[in-house]
Amino acid sequence: MDNKKIGLVTKAAGSLYTVRDKLSGEACECKIRGKLRLNDGRTTNPLSVGDVVCYEAGAAPVVTALLPRRNYIIRRAANLSKEAHIVAANIDQAFLVVTVDFPRTSMEFIDRFLISAEAYKIPVSLVINKMDLYDEERLQEAAHLAETYSAIGYQTLKISIKVKDDINLIKSLLYNKITLFSGNSGVGKSSLINALNPQLNLRVGEISEFHNKGKHTTTFSEMLEVEAGSYVVDTPGIKGFGLVDINPNELSHYFKEIFAASRTCKFNGCTHVHEPGCAVRQAVESGSVSQSRYISYLKMLEGDEKYRR
């Protein structure tokens, strides 16, 4: 009997990977062949959830090969270390879950995630969670956040997991897709997934009152079925999002509104930092490009240069 099969990685926990057979749907825990691990020296994880692999079933199942990825989300640690981590592969869309408090998600973090997704043409929806917890000031911040990103062209949702209509809306957007759920620790990813399908019963943590930061409750990445044909990839909360494989000369291309404004810059190859006649800086001054987005661009540009040096 031929034990060679093709499967989908649905869970990554340390050196063990759960692989679901493409034909039968049966799942087994696999290790990976040493050669495959050695071939991937640039990332902390040779395989990620969403990968399609060749594997050998039997008494000791083993993944023997990784098939080409159509896309992936990859990040470097916040300290710009040389190691990168693939968050998920072969996804249809991503939901970035953010909060304006309990804890606060920084706009730079949001921008870094969006740029990484833009590089692989992965659609992203911004999900502003915990709307039921905010006072008037925080509600205004949430509205400003939503306006900033919806004006660029990102779908932006303001939700509470306690509101049934919000959950039904999310369900409708997940239908027949594989969706990555990502965000900082404590923003409510696991609670949101539980609201979508209470039978999953994911562990939920509390927010530290002293630091107002979330604690890691999801310790490994896993693909979960919330409804028939609708899958979400639940991932551990992340603090920083360093960019990987993005040429600084092309960075502005992944900021949709900056790229649009740059078409009328005086010089080709304008960095939008110091050149005269820069249409992007003029757009920032006029307010048609968000100052926070431009600052994110400058920080990423400076960070990439430091890393190259």
| Total domain count, the chain | 3
pLDDT at 214: 42
Residue 161 belongs to a domain? yes
Ranking 8-12, 77-81, 123-127, 194-198 by mean pLDDT, the lowest is: 77-81
- Look at residue 240 and tell me if it is in a domain: no
pLDDT of residue 308: 41
Give the CATH number for residue 47: 2.40.50.140
Confidence of residue 147 (pLDDT cuts 50, 70, 90): very high
- Helix axis angle, 189-196 to 164-174, nearest 10°: 90
Confidence of residue 242 (pLDDT cuts 50, 70, 90): confident
DSSP string, the chain: ---EEEEEEEEEETTEEEEEETTT--EEEEEE-HHHHHH--SBS-SS-TT-EEEEE-SSS-EEEEEPPPS-EEEEE-TT--S-EEEEEES-SEEEEEE-BSSSBPPHHHHHHHHHHHHHTT--EEEEE--GGG--HHHHHHHHHHHHHHHHHT-EEEE--TT-HHHHHHHHHHHTTSEEEEE-STTSSHHHHHHHH-GGG------B-TTT--B-----SEEEEEEETTEEEEE----S--B--S--GGGGGGGSHHHHHHHTT-SSTT--SSS-TT-HHHHHHHHTSS-HHHHHHHHHHHHHHHHHH-
Structural domain containing residue 279: 248-308
User: Final residue of a domain: which of 36, 66, 96?
Assistant: 66
One-letter amino acid at 288 equals: S
- State whether 44 and 150 are in the same domain: no
Per-residue pLDDT tens over the stretch 222-239 = 999 999 999 999 998 888
Do 214 and 78 reside in the same domain of the chain?
A: yes
Whole-number pLDDT of residue 260: 97
Residues 2-27: pLDDT tens digits? 678 999 999 998 889 999 999 999 99
Cα-based angle 233, 59, 218 (whole degrees, multiple of 5): 25
Quick one: average pLDDT of 284-288? 96
Provide the CB-side half-sphere exposure for 20 (13 A, CA): 13
Assess whether pLDDT exceeds 90 at residue 209: no
> Would you place residue 218 in the very low, low, confident or very high pLDDT band (cuts 50, 70, 90)?
low
Cβ atoms of residues 191 and 204 within 8 Å: yes
Looking at the domain assignment, is residue 241 inside a domain?
no
Give the span between the Cα atoms of 108 and 102, in whole angstroms.
17
pLDDT of 151 above 60: yes
pLDDT at residue 34, as a whole number: 76
Mean pLDDT calculated for residue range 266-278: 95
Query: Does pLDDT of 264 surpass 60?
Result: yes
Whether residues 45 and 94 fall in one domain: no
Write down the pTM of the prediction.
0.90
Residue 59 has pLDDT above 90, yes or no: no
Question: Both 92 and 200 in a single domain?
Answer: yes
Tens digit of each residue's pLDDT (9 = 90 or more) over 152-208 = 999 999 999 999 999 999 999 999 999 999 999 999 999 999 999 999 988 775 544
What percent of the chain has a predicted confidence (pLDDT) above 90? Answer: 76
